[in-house]
Every structure is written in structure tokens, then in C-alpha cells.
Amino acid sequence: MVSTAHPRTTPIRVLVAKPGLDGHDRGAKVMVRALRDAGMEVIYTGLFQTPEMIARAAIDEDADVIGLSILSGAHLALFPKIFAELEKAGVTDVLVVAGGTIPNEDIPHVKELGVAEVFGPGTPMEEAVRFIREHAPDRSGE
């Protein structure tokens, strides 16, 4: 069978952000390295990002993917604000994934908000890389 899919012509651009007052970024930095090693262009915004800062960075960096890393437990307060800022800015074609310590009972809710997948502690890096490769929007033809 011949594939009709066109190969991507530009690297996937991933914005990795630490929303809120969460000061632990080791996991985010490990993910940044794994994504870069997989050939993606990664922009790490650093700690203490507001929803407005994350949305602005996604626009400025023309991100295909936003990775939200959170360990503070504030995901139910911050994620809706991030999605509201993205919507307000007209950002509709970006894949949003999350990682960190999000309780299993909260995962359905964050997915309803628009998070495509949640990668908890111990998730193999290859799993996250594969998910992003398979689901990131291909805007390279634009």
C-alpha cells in the first residue's frame, strides 16, 4: 500500500512551560532534552509563567505543541486560564500536553479542557516523544 501522507518539512516546535508558582523544573528539563534529542525545536520558558505569558510565548514562537509541566497541584486552577488565554488570542491549532503530578481522578477533567495527553511521573520519554510526533499539527505547508 502506498502512503499518501506527506512527510513533515519542518521540525515540530514545542513550547515547554512551568505555569504558576511551581519551582521544581527537573522533569521539564529532562523532557526538553528528550524532545531536542528527538529532533524537535524546543523553547523552554522557565519557571513561574502566567497563563498570559504562556499564550504569548506560544504565539511568538509559532509553537505546534505546548507542554505544561506542573507539580504544584494548581492544574485545575491554571489550565482553564491557559486555555482561555489561548482562545482569546485565537490559538486553536496547537497540541497541548501536560506532565507532572496530576492525580488520576483529575485527568478526565484536564482532557475535557483540551489537554490531549497527560504524562505522569515515570512515563518513558519515548512515549511522550511518540505521542507528540503522532499528534502535533503539521503546519509546515502553510
Per-residue pLDDT of the chain (142 residues; tens, 9 = 90+): 444 455 678 999 999 999 999 888 999 999 999 999 999 999 999 999 999 999 999 999 999 999 999 999 999 999 999 999 999 999 989 999 999 999 999 999 999 999 999 999 999 999 999 999 999 998 766 6
Using CA atoms, how far apart are residues 122 and 140, in angstroms rounded to an integer?
32
* pTM: predicted TM-score of the whole model, two decimal places: 0.92
Go through the domains of the chain in sequence order and give each one's CATH number.
Answer: 13-135 (3.40.50.280)
Scan for cell 529532533, then name that residue: 39
Any idea what the Cα angle at residue 70 is, between residues 21 and 124, rounded to 5°? Answer: 150
Using CA atoms, how far apart are residues 5 and 8, in angstroms rounded to an integer?
9
